[in-house]
Structure 1
Amino acid sequence: MPIDETIARFSDFAFKTGVVVYLLATLMLIWQLATTQSRKVIERELVSAGGDSVADPALPGKLAELKAKPLAERVGNSAFAVLVVALALHVASIVLRGFATHRFPLGNMYEFVTMATAAAVVFGMVFLREQRYRAIWVFLLVPILVLLFLAGTVLYADAAPVVPALKSYWLPIHVTIVSTGSGVALFAGVASLLFLYRVRQPDGKESKGVLGTLAGRLPDARTLDRLAYKATIIAFPLFGAGVILGAIWAEAAWGRFWGWDPKETCSFIAWVLYAAYLHARATSGWRDTKAAWINVAAFVAMLFNLFIINMVISGLHSYAGLN
C-alpha cells in the first residue's frame, strides 16, 4: 500500500510539538525547584529572626512571601499536566507513523528511539508521581530530550515501507520488547548516576548554580538506589525476552539461532551486565557504589549497541534507516 503522506506529516508535526512541550515541562520543573530552594532559605531566616530580641524590619515581608504561593510553584505544579500533553503527542506521533506506513512503527532507528523514550516517560509517570521526585524528572527529561533531538535530526527517516528482511510478524513482538526494555533501562541508568552523585555529596552542603541546586533537591541516595534496582528488575527480563525472541526470529530468517553478529554480541553483553548488577546488588559489599557502576556500564553498553553498532559497524542487523 502507498504511504499516506498527509498522516505522515501529522506524525512529524506531533513529534516536533511533543519535543517542544517536553522542553517546556522541563523548564517549568527547573523553575519550581529553584524557587523551592529559595523558600527554604526564607524559612531558615524566619526561624533565626524569631529568636532575636531585635525585630527584623523585613520580617513581615518575608513572612508574607512564605505564606503566599509563588507563581513558580504554581507553574511547577502544572508541569505534570504539561508532561501528560507531551506524552500524548509523543504517543500520537508513533501511532500516526504506523497508520501512515501501514505497518508497525519500529522499522528504523528514528522509530525505535521514539518508542524507547516514550517507554521511559511512561515508566517515570508510574514511579515518579510524588513531589519529592521532581528533581529526578529534570535529570530524566534531559537525556530524553537529547535522544528525541537526535531522533528528529540525525536519525530521522521518512515514512516508508520496511526492508524485506523486517517484513515479519516478529517485528512488533521482538522490537517492542527491546525498545520498552531500553526505555526502562534509561530510567535505571539515570537513577544509578544520580545515586553515585548523591553518595559523594556531603550532607548539608549548599550547592551552587542551577545544576547544583537541582542536584541538592534529589531524594536521598538510598531512595535513588531503590529506584534504579526496581527499574532494572523490570528491564532485565525484557532484555532477556528480547534476546531469546531475536534468536528465534534469526533462526526463521537466517537459518541459525545465534551467529555472534555485532548486534547480537553487544545485546548479550548488556544483558550479562544487567544480570551482574542484580547479583551484585544482592551481594554484601557490592550493593552500594560497586553495583551502581555495573548498572552504569550496562547502560553505556546499551547506548553503544544503539548508536555505534547500528551506525558504524556493519552487520546483519544494519537496519538503521540512515542510508
Structure 2
Amino acid sequence: MMDMVLQQPLYKRLATGDWLYALLIVLTAGYSLKLFGSAMDYYEQLILLGCGAGLVALGWFWKSWRWFFPLAGAVSLAAIALYDHNLARAGQSFGLKFIFSSQSSFMWMCTLFFLATGVYWAGLLARSAWLQRMASGLTWSAAVFALAGLFTRWYESYLIAPDVGRIPVSNLYEVFILFCLITALMYLYYEAKFAVRAVGAFVLLVISAAVGFILWYTFDRQAHEIQPLIPALQSWWMKIHVPANFVGYGAFAMSAMLGVAQLLIQRGILVNRLPPAEVLDEVMYKAIAVGFLFFTIATILGAMWAADAWGGYWSWDPKETWALIVWLNYAAWLHMRLVKGWRGAPLAWWAAGGLLVTSFAFIGVNMFLSGLHSYGTL
C-alpha cells in the first residue's frame, strides 16, 4: 500500500493542509517582496524566492514544520507589533522585556534547552515515556523561541539604523544560537522518524554545552549587543553560506552524540533504555550524509564568496584549511561505510572523535589562529 502511494504524482499525495501551508508561504514571500523588494538587489530577491520554495518543500516533506515555522513567525510578529518602530520600547513594554524581544527569546531558549536536557535524562533513567514526551515538547518550545528570536533580532538591527540591519548570522553569538536551533530541529526530525526519543538525553548535552557558551558570551562579553557588520561580511553571500555551513555542523554534532550512545550500548551500559545500536548506526549515517551534503555546498559557496571578495577561490586561510579537514574527515567516514562496509564501533568512535575536529574548525580556529576570517574572534 505504501509503495502504491509513493508511486502517485506528488500533487495527488498532497493534502489540503499542504496546499494551505504552501499558500501561506507564497503570500508571505510575495508580501515581503512587495515591501522590501526595492531595497534588495537581484541576488537578494532570488534568495528570498528560493527560500520561499525551500520552505514549501520542507513543509511538504516534514509535516511538523507546517506548524513550527508559522508559530515562530507569529511570535516574532508579536514582537514587531510591540516595538511599533521604536527600539526604546524594549525596556518599556512588559511583553518585550520578558518574552518577545530577541534577548528575552534567547534567554527562554536557553532555559528550555537546559530543562529539556534534564527531563530527557530523567525520562531515560526512569524509562518514562511521559517524561520523554515532555522533553520533546520543551525542545520544540526552545526551537520556537530560537527561530523567533533570530527573526526579531533581524528586525531590531534595522531599528538601530538601516545601514546596521542585517541577517543575524554574522558573529559567534548569533551562529551559536543558529547551531542550537539547527541541531535541535535535526534531532527532532530523526527522533520522530526513527522513534529514538531516548537518545535525546545525549544530543541535548551538546546543545546545552552551546547554551552554556551563549550565556557566558552574553554576560561576560556583552556579545548580545547588535553591532554593524564589518565590510568583509557585507554581502548577500552570507545569507546562504552560513546557514548551509551550520546544517553541517549541527548534523556532525548530533552524529557524535549518537556515536557515544552507540558505544555505551555496545558495552552493556543503558542497553535496555536506549534504542538498538543498529538503529542508532543508521540514524548516525543519515545525519552525517545530510551534514556532508550541506557542508559541501557551504564550502563551495564560501569559495565563490572568497573569489568575489578577495579575488581568489582559495587562500589556505586557517578557517578554509580546517573546513577542508572537516570535509575530508566525513568524506572518509562515508567512504568507509558505503564502500568498505564498515559498521558498529569503529564508525561510532570516528563520529564521536569527529566532534573534536568540527569543534576546532567551528570555534578553535577563531580562538587560536588568525587569518582572513579573524573577525569571528572571542
Shorter-chain TM range is 0.7 to 0.9
Choose from 120, 144, 160 the match for 2:207: 144
**CA displacement at 1:28 relative to structure 2:** 2.4
Aligned partners of 1:114 and 1:151 also within 8 Å: yes
Higher RCO (C-alpha under 8 Å, 6+ residues apart): 1
Give the deviation of 1:5 after TM superposition. Answer: 6.0
Q: How large is the RMSD of aligned CA atoms in angstroms?
A: 2.4
Work out the CA distance in 1 between the residues paired with 2:89 and 2:200. 34
Aligned 1:4-23 pairs, distance under 5 A: 4=87, 10-23=101-114
The CA distance in 2 between the partners of 1:236 and 1:304, in whole Å, is 17
Amino acid of the residue matched to residue 236 of structure 1?
F
Task: Report the Cα offset of residue 157 of structure 1.
Answer: 4.1
* 1:118-157 to 2 correspondences below 5 Å: 118-129=181-192, 132-154=195-217, 156-157=223-224
2:56 alignment partner in structure 1? none
* Residue among 296, 309, 315 paired with 1:253: 309
SS of 2:369's partner is coil
Q: Deviations over 1:266-321 (max 9, x none)?
A: 00000011000000112446333223333334332110011210122111011226
Write the distance in 1 (CA, Å) between the matches of 2:311 and 2:170: 22
Where structure 2 has 5 or more consecutive residues not aligned to the other structure, the ranges are 1-84, 91-95, 158-164
Partner of 1:54: none
Name the amino acid aligned to 1:28: V
Q: 2:233 aligns to what?
A: 166
CA offset at residue 130 of structure 1?
A: 6.6
Task: Give the aligned residue type for 1:169.
Answer: W
- In structure 2, relative to structure 1, the CA distance for the partners of 1:17 and 1:314 (3 Å cut) is same
**SS at 1:293's partner residue?**
helix
Match status 1:222 vs 2:281: no
SS at match of 2:196: helix
Are the counterparts in 1 of residues 123 and 131 from structure 2 also a CA contact under 8 Å? yes
**Closer, same or farther: CA 293–80 of 1 in aligned 2, 3 Å:** closer
Letter in 1 for 2:352: V
> Which structure shows the bigger proportion of residues in helix conformation?
2
Write the letter of the residue equivalent to 2:202.
Answer: F
Between the aligned partners of 2:332 and 2:138, the Cα distance in structure 1 is 38
In structure 2, the residue matched to 1:315 is 371
Deviation by residue 1:171-218 (Cα, 9 ceiling, x = unmatched): 1111111012211111112112222222232xxxxx5xxxxx5x6511
- Aligned-partner SS, 1:29: helix
- Does residue 306 of the first structure (1) align with residue 362 of the second (2)? yes
Distance 2:326 2:286 in 1: 17
State the secondary structure of the residue aligned to 1:259.
coil
CA distance in 1, matches of 2:361, 2:194: 34
Distance of 1:14 and 1:223 partners within structure 2: 35
- Identify the residue that residue 42 of structure 1 maps to in structure 2: none
Contact 1:107 1:319 in 2 (8 A): no
Letter of the structure 1 residue corresponding to residue 227 of structure 2: A
Cα distance change on mapping 1:5 and 1:239 into 2, 3 Å: farther
Change (3 A) 1:285 1:77: closer
Q: Does 1:194 align with 2:261?
A: yes
Q: 1:131 to 1:82 in 2, by over 3 A?
A: farther
Q: Shift in Å at residue 6 of structure 1?
A: 5.1
Take 2:86 and 2:242, find their aligned partners in 1: how far apart are those partners? 22
TM-score, reference length from structure 2 = 0.67
Asked if the contact 2:245–2:298 (Cα under 8 Å) also holds between the matched residues in 1, the reply is: yes
With the length of structure 1 as denominator, give the TM-score of the two structures: 0.78
Determine if contact 2:136/2:188 at 8 Å carries over to the other structure: no
> 2:170 matched to 1:79?
no
Equivalences, count: 275
